[in-house]
Amino acid sequence: MEIKLFDSELKVMDVLWKEGDTTAKRISDILKEQTGWNMNTTYTLIKRCIGKGAIERREPNFLCHALIAKKQVQDQETTELVNKVFDGSMDLLFASLLNRKNLSTEEIEKLKQLVSNLK
Protein backbone atom coordinates (compact mmCIF):
# COMPACT_ATOMS: atom_id res chain seq x y z
CA MET A 1 0.00 0.00 0.00
CA GLU A 2 1.37 3.39 -0.98
CA ILE A 3 0.89 6.31 1.38
CA LYS A 4 1.68 9.77 0.01
CA LEU A 5 3.11 12.02 2.71
CA PHE A 6 3.80 15.72 2.36
CA ASP A 7 7.05 17.30 3.58
CA SER A 8 5.49 18.48 6.85
CA GLU A 9 4.08 15.01 7.53
CA LEU A 10 7.50 13.51 6.79
CA LYS A 11 8.97 15.70 9.54
CA VAL A 12 6.56 14.09 12.01
CA MET A 13 7.42 10.63 10.70
CA ASP A 14 11.13 11.37 10.91
CA VAL A 15 10.79 12.09 14.63
CA LEU A 16 9.01 8.76 15.09
CA TRP A 17 11.59 6.86 13.06
CA LYS A 18 14.41 8.35 15.14
CA GLU A 19 12.72 8.19 18.56
CA GLY A 20 10.61 5.05 18.19
CA ASP A 21 7.14 4.97 19.76
CA THR A 22 6.64 8.28 21.53
CA THR A 23 3.88 10.58 22.71
CA ALA A 24 2.32 13.28 20.57
CA LYS A 25 3.50 15.77 23.21
CA ARG A 26 7.12 14.65 22.80
CA ILE A 27 6.84 14.86 19.00
CA SER A 28 5.40 18.36 19.42
CA ASP A 29 8.26 19.40 21.72
CA ILE A 30 10.89 18.11 19.29
CA LEU A 31 9.29 19.79 16.28
CA LYS A 32 8.84 23.06 18.18
CA GLU A 33 12.59 23.06 18.75
CA GLN A 34 13.44 22.01 15.17
CA THR A 35 10.89 24.02 13.20
CA GLY A 36 9.16 26.43 15.57
CA TRP A 37 5.77 24.74 15.06
CA ASN A 38 3.22 25.12 17.83
CA MET A 39 1.42 22.17 19.41
CA ASN A 40 -1.75 22.61 17.34
CA THR A 41 0.20 22.43 14.08
CA THR A 42 2.00 19.26 15.12
CA TYR A 43 -1.16 17.59 16.43
CA THR A 44 -2.96 18.40 13.16
CA LEU A 45 -0.12 16.78 11.20
CA ILE A 46 -0.12 13.73 13.48
CA LYS A 47 -3.88 13.37 12.95
CA ARG A 48 -3.37 13.59 9.18
CA CYS A 49 -0.75 10.84 9.37
CA ILE A 50 -3.18 8.74 11.45
CA GLY A 51 -5.87 9.33 8.82
CA LYS A 52 -3.51 8.18 6.06
CA GLY A 53 -2.56 5.04 7.95
CA ALA A 54 1.05 6.07 8.59
CA ILE A 55 0.70 6.38 12.37
CA GLU A 56 -1.33 4.44 14.92
CA ARG A 57 -2.50 6.17 18.08
CA ARG A 58 -2.18 4.11 21.23
CA GLU A 59 -3.21 4.82 24.78
CA PRO A 60 -2.30 5.88 27.34
CA ASN A 61 -0.95 9.37 26.67
CA PHE A 62 -1.58 9.56 22.90
CA LEU A 63 1.38 7.29 22.15
CA CYS A 64 2.27 7.36 18.46
CA HIS A 65 3.52 4.30 16.60
CA ALA A 66 4.84 4.40 13.00
CA LEU A 67 2.97 1.95 10.77
CA ILE A 68 5.30 2.47 7.81
CA ALA A 69 9.06 2.15 7.68
CA LYS A 70 11.39 4.91 6.54
CA LYS A 71 12.77 2.57 3.85
CA GLN A 72 9.27 2.14 2.40
CA VAL A 73 8.84 5.92 2.11
CA GLN A 74 12.35 6.33 0.66
CA ASP A 75 11.58 3.69 -1.98
CA GLN A 76 8.24 5.34 -2.88
CA GLU A 77 9.78 8.82 -3.08
CA THR A 78 12.71 7.57 -5.18
CA THR A 79 10.38 5.78 -7.60
CA GLU A 80 8.23 8.91 -7.89
CA LEU A 81 11.30 11.08 -8.54
CA VAL A 82 12.67 8.70 -11.17
CA ASN A 83 9.31 8.49 -12.94
CA LYS A 84 8.55 12.22 -12.74
CA VAL A 85 11.94 13.76 -13.52
CA PHE A 86 14.01 11.04 -15.22
CA ASP A 87 11.35 9.35 -17.42
CA GLY A 88 11.57 6.18 -15.35
CA SER A 89 15.32 5.81 -15.95
CA MET A 90 17.28 4.94 -12.82
CA ASP A 91 20.58 5.24 -14.70
CA LEU A 92 19.77 8.86 -15.64
CA LEU A 93 19.13 9.64 -11.97
CA PHE A 94 22.39 7.95 -11.02
CA ALA A 95 24.33 9.85 -13.69
CA SER A 96 22.76 13.12 -12.56
CA LEU A 97 23.77 12.49 -8.96
CA LEU A 98 27.32 11.56 -9.93
CA ASN A 99 27.73 14.69 -12.05
CA ARG A 100 26.64 17.07 -9.28
CA LYS A 101 29.86 17.14 -7.27
CA ASN A 102 33.40 15.92 -7.10
CA LEU A 103 33.37 12.62 -5.28
CA SER A 104 36.14 11.65 -2.90
CA THR A 105 38.08 8.44 -3.48
CA GLU A 106 36.26 6.95 -0.48
CA GLU A 107 32.83 7.85 -1.91
CA ILE A 108 33.78 6.38 -5.28
CA GLU A 109 34.87 3.14 -3.60
CA LYS A 110 31.57 2.96 -1.67
CA LEU A 111 29.64 3.39 -4.92
CA LYS A 112 31.70 0.71 -6.64
CA GLN A 113 30.96 -1.65 -3.78
CA LEU A 114 27.23 -0.88 -3.95
CA VAL A 115 27.17 -1.54 -7.69
CA SER A 116 29.17 -4.76 -7.39
CA ASN A 117 26.75 -6.00 -4.71
CA LEU A 118 23.84 -5.62 -7.16
CA LYS A 119 25.11 -8.45 -9.37
Indicate if the pLDDT at residue 95 is higher than 90: no
Any domain includes 18: yes
Q: Is residue 1 part of a domain?
A: no
In terms of pLDDT, which residue wins out, 119 or 68? 68
Where residue 13 falls among pLDDT bands split at 50, 70, 90?
very high
| DSSP β-bridge partners for residue 55 | 66
Q: Quote helix, strand, coil % in the chain, to nearest 5.
A: 65, 10, 25
The reported pTM is 0.81
Residues 15 and 61 reside in one and the same domain: yes
Are 32 and 81 contained in the same domain? no
Task: Count how many domains the chain has.
Answer: 2
Are 30 and 14 spatial neighbours (Cβ–Cβ below 8 Å)? no
User: 75 and 59 share a domain?
Assistant: no
pLDDT value for 16: 97
Residue 99 burial (10 A CB sphere; 0-12, 13-18, 19+): exposed
**85: phi then psi, degrees, rounded to nearest 5:** -105, -30
Residue 81 lies in domain: 70-117
